[in-house]
Amino acid sequence: MLDRRMFLIALAAVSTLASASVTLAADRMVYSQQAFEKAQKAGKPILVEITASWCPICKAQKQVLARLLPRAEHANLAVFEVDFDSQKEVVRAFGAQMQSTLITFKGTREVGRLVGVTKADPIKHLLDATI
């Protein structure tokens, strides 16, 4: 049985780990106009990922983003996924011609765009230019 001291130490450790995972992970969400505008008004750095489940380039981009987004420097990045097939109006509103499009914003200003790029260096440069 745990004594009070061990319980408090365990609780502090869990709390520290939980807060570390929150601060070191980008805020990923499915795109909604309200959430996007809220992030823009807050002046957050934003990544819009236009993707399709069937797209091999999108899958490669997701693998690169899975390695880059957990880094501390990307902790404040809001990441919005837009489904190329089911959110056609949103895709058109962003001026995207195809899936595998990555668009970054600083608040309301677009600061970068990559289409069909799967190499880590240019994607990292895009993210870094946004924060």
SS3 letters across 43-112? CCEEEEEEECCCCHHHHHHHHHHHHHCCCHHHCCCEEEEEECCCCHHHHHHCCCCCCCEEEEEECCEEEE
Give domain status of residue 69, yes or no: yes
Give domain status of residue 2, yes or no: no
The CATH number of whichever domain residue 123 belongs to comes to 3.40.30.10
Q: What pLDDT score does 15 carry?
A: 45
Query: How many structural domains compose the chain?
Result: 1
Q: What pLDDT score does 19 carry?
A: 39
89-98 pLDDT, tens digit each: 999 999 999 9
Give domain status of residue 20, yes or no: no
Q: What pLDDT score does 128 carry?
A: 95
Domain residues for the domain of 122 are 26-130
Q: What pLDDT score does 14 carry?
A: 46
pTM (two decimals): 0.80
Output the CA torsion sign for 107, 30, 101, 90.
negative
Q: What pLDDT score does 26 carry?
A: 76
Give domain status of residue 14, yes or no: no
Strands 109-115 and 101-106: antiparallel
Ranges of the chain whose pLDDT falls below 50: 11, 14-24
Q: What pLDDT score does 28 carry?
A: 85
